[in-house]
Structure 1
Amino acid sequence: MLATATHDHKRGEDVRTRLAVLSEVPEEWRRRVERWQTMNRTLTFDIEPADVYMLYQTLFGTWPTGLIASDAGGLAALGERIAAWQKKALREAELRSSWEAPDEDYERRCLELTGALLDPARSAEFLSDFTDFIAWTEPAARANSLVQTALRCVVPGVPDLYQGAELPDLSLVDPDNRRPVDYDLRRGLLTGEDVEASEWARMKFALIVRLLDDRRNHPLLFANGNYEPIAVRGLREKCVLAFRRRSGEEELVCAVAFRCAAALLGGKAVAPPAHWWDDTVLDISATDAFGDGRAATLFADGPVFVSVRRI
């Protein structure tokens, strides 16, 4: 079973794809955290630095798409979710509180910190800088999300799609990951109705629909197909994972772009521009149905290339 989200995960699958971006921008992340520490020093003086840092990281990972710094109602709703996670995280870490011996005073101070940070009247400067950083990294996070979604659907195994994860899964530990699912929204996306959804949601949903349709139309290929890595050469060869699967007269080629944050930060595209790839090429025949194998061609429309054909 290929599962990227469950009823018991600690961080939703797209919280993790967001957090993965931080590993590609460590210096900028350090600079931002240090700036926030300075901004919020009067709020955090009696909280352990590790718990403050974890709070920043969790806020970054779970920040709802489209939530702006001045939306008091949206920030309050997020605060309720973060508070439930925070209490559970503190007690299960068993460092400064626990289920058997809860330090309710320390938990209260942590809760007050969360409330203060998410109060636009008290933390306008912080929220402005924080949402700026989220917007700057969002294209790379979306790219990671699409890559993870594709791999779950096409590598050997049976993909498991947890309820609600058809759209960006920015949930936390239970009960947050067990909230009611808006199935009407998903039906609307499936039938092409005019529903309110982010670009990230639309892209992820459309990719899932397409790949599950491939699985339905080529069941033996996905059930029995082998797995052969495809060699990649060139300047960005370490930024591509590629493989083919074959069964009988059917063949699938998959290539995904990753470790590409530097080319996406601050923009709108979820795949690097053609010139960034330089001479990067995949070892597939120039005469076959999958094209010339140039990364610039394969990733012209996004970070995921999946194609199925009859041999």
Structure 2
Amino acid sequence: VDTVRDLALGRHGDGPAHRAFRARFAQTASALRAKSVEDTAFYRHTPLLSALEVGGCPHDPAVSAGDFHAYCARVQRDWPYTSTVLSTHDTKRSADVRAGIAVLTQCPDHWETLLAQVTERTAHGGGTSSPDPQLAWAAWQTVAGLGPAEPERMQQALLKHAREAGLFTTWTEQNTAYEGALRDFVASGPCGPPGDAVLRFMEELAPHVGANVLGAALVHLTMPGVPDLYQGTEHEYRALVDPDNREPARFDVKGRGALSEEKAALTKAALRLRREHPEWFGGSATYAPLSVEGSGAGHCVAYARSGRVVVAVTRLSLRLAEAGGWRETELVLPEGEWTELLDPERQFSGHARVADLFRRLPVALLVRAEDGAAGLSAGVREGRRERG
């Protein structure tokens, strides 16, 4: 390993053979990683599917608020115009599917109990058991994140999962008996009556899934870098691996529920803010973490952009609720008056009570009062009226 590293870095010379090696290494290294790690190992290691994404670290799926702030400061310093993404045509699960699965990490005991129940119901209730435990673990997480779906849709995604993992069937050596059992299991388990129990469980967790969805969206739109929005992700977007995530985008949000409307309104407001004030987010902008004080401080991530915008989101909301909520927790705002962009009647200053800040939504996007209601573009005001 050391020899390969040193050759790739040019430490063993710069002759024609050395340059040829470096060129070939650069050409093949990313493809090798993609196939071995992202397209094989990430389909075999299934404890937490939301961590198995390109660039993800399954062994360390979460970061502290401090580490997040340090990362953002580095991006602003070194790569202020780098592209940032949550969902693409190549993600295994869209960001909103991952947001739902991630909530399960906050209630592992309840999830374990539910899995035992649905596994028993599938095996002894006239259904077909999973052909292997690893597939079952992936399937139940998938239905938890995706929500109600036709069996064919789930079968297609999980069949690709099994073939990419290459443990029991592959693209070139297909095990028809295994794949038939997979289809039967998906239809009678995750997409059958046992799956309804998972859907009911996720309905109870809906506020916390929503906190993850809106929090990730707002951070993506306001952190250092240039947000790249995949088609249709302006509203709630739940999709699995291709070809599921390559269907024609739907841009209407009517009838999709409150979360879709909230995400669309938030996305519209944040993007228009960036369009009207690119200097607040570009190469000359600044990024500053904000302090949160009180018992719920660990559940609020907040920062300021260029001293003109404040972003605050909720973190680990289920555990927060179980601990008694925000109570006396306060966000220490920069000096001055601050206006909630989506509700300009609301203003904050000094030590703002987080419970008040998040009274309507689990996220907040604030601008300085002088840049607030009076400075809103017609587009932002119109977006607010559409939602209201």
Tell me which interval the TM-score lies in, with the shorter structure as reference length: 0.7 to 0.9
Amino acid at match of 1:10: K
Q: Identify the residue that residue 206 of structure 1 maps to in structure 2.
A: 265
Amino acid at match of 1:99: W
Native 8 Å contact 2:293 2:331 kept in 1: yes
Aligned residues: 275
Q: Identify the residue that residue 189 of structure 2 maps to in structure 1.
A: 117
Q: Which of 332, 356, 361 pairs up with 1:283? A: 332
Native 8 Å contact 1:285 1:293 kept in 2: no
SS of residue in 2 equivalent to 1:99: coil
Amino acid at match of 1:117: G
Once residues 243 and 159 of structure 2 are traced to their aligned partners in structure 1, the CA distance between those partners, rounded to angstroms, is: 12
Q: Which of 76, 100, 103 pairs up with 2:175? A: 103
Q: What does the per-residue CA deviation read over 1:1-59, in whole Å, with 9 as the maximum and x for residues that have no partner?
A: 11001111101110000011001011110010011111112434461111112111111
Q: Does 1:5 align with 2:77?
A: no
Q: Identify the residue that residue 54 of structure 1 maps to in structure 2.
A: 138
SS of residue in 2 equivalent to 1:153: helix
SS of residue in 1 equivalent to 2:366: strand
> For 1:242-281, what aligned pairs fall within 5 Å after superposition?
242-246=302-306, 251-262=308-319, 276-281=325-330
Native 8 Å contact 1:253 1:307 kept in 2: yes
SS of residue in 2 equivalent to 1:81: helix
SS of residue in 1 equivalent to 2:302: strand
Q: Which of 271, 280, 284 pairs up with 1:221? A: 280
Q: What does the per-residue CA deviation read over 1:165-214, in whole Å, with 9 as the maximum and x for residues that have no partner?
A: 1121210110000001124x2xxx5xxxxx32211111111110111111
Once residues 98 and 177 of structure 2 are traced to their aligned partners in structure 1, the CA distance between those partners, rounded to angstroms, is: 30
SS of residue in 1 equivalent to 2:301: strand
Once residues 55 and 89 of structure 1 are traced to their aligned partners in structure 2, the CA distance between those partners, rounded to angstroms, is: 10
Once residues 132 and 158 of structure 2 are traced to their aligned partners in structure 1, the CA distance between those partners, rounded to angstroms, is: 13
Amino acid at match of 1:280: T
Amino acid at match of 1:51: L
Q: Which of 161, 165, 181 pairs up with 2:229? A: 161
Q: Which of 245, 248, 251 pairs up with 1:177? A: 245
Amino acid at match of 2:355: A
Once residues 228 and 167 of structure 1 are traced to their aligned partners in structure 2, the CA distance between those partners, rounded to angstroms, is: 28
Native 8 Å contact 1:139 1:264 kept in 2: no
Once residues 169 and 117 of structure 1 are traced to their aligned partners in structure 2, the CA distance between those partners, rounded to angstroms, is: 24
- Structure whose alpha-carbon radius of gyration is higher: 2
- Residues 118 and 280 of structure 1: CA distance in aligned 2, closer, same or farther (over 3 Å): closer
Once residues 128 and 105 of structure 1 are traced to their aligned partners in structure 2, the CA distance between those partners, rounded to angstroms, is: 27
Q: Identify the residue that residue 296 of structure 1 maps to in structure 2.
A: 355
TM-score normalised by structure 2 residue count: 0.67
Q: Which of 25, 32, 39 pairs up with 2:107? A: 25
Once residues 325 and 264 of structure 2 are traced to their aligned partners in structure 1, the CA distance between those partners, rounded to angstroms, is: 27
TM-score normalised by structure 1 residue count: 0.82
Once residues 287 and 45 of structure 1 are traced to their aligned partners in structure 2, the CA distance between those partners, rounded to angstroms, is: 61
Q: Identify the residue that residue 42 of structure 2 maps to in structure 1.
A: none
Once residues 279 and 46 of structure 1 are traced to their aligned partners in structure 2, the CA distance between those partners, rounded to angstroms, is: 48
Amino acid at match of 2:277: H
Q: Which of 153, 157, 181 pairs up with 1:81? A: 153
Please state how far the C-alpha of 1:276 moved relative to its aligned partner.
2.0
Higher mean displacement: 149-158 or 38-47: 38-47
SS of residue in 2 equivalent to 1:167: coil
Once residues 285 and 264 of structure 1 are traced to their aligned partners in structure 2, the CA distance between those partners, rounded to angstroms, is: 27
Q: Identify the residue that residue 69 of structure 1 maps to in structure 2.
A: none
Please state how far the C-alpha of 1:285 moved relative to its aligned partner.
5.2
Q: Identify the residue that residue 143 of structure 1 maps to in structure 2.
A: 211
Native 8 Å contact 2:290 2:331 kept in 1: yes
Amino acid at match of 1:35: Q
| Structure with more contact order per residue of length (Cα contacts < 8 Å, sep ≥ 6) | 1
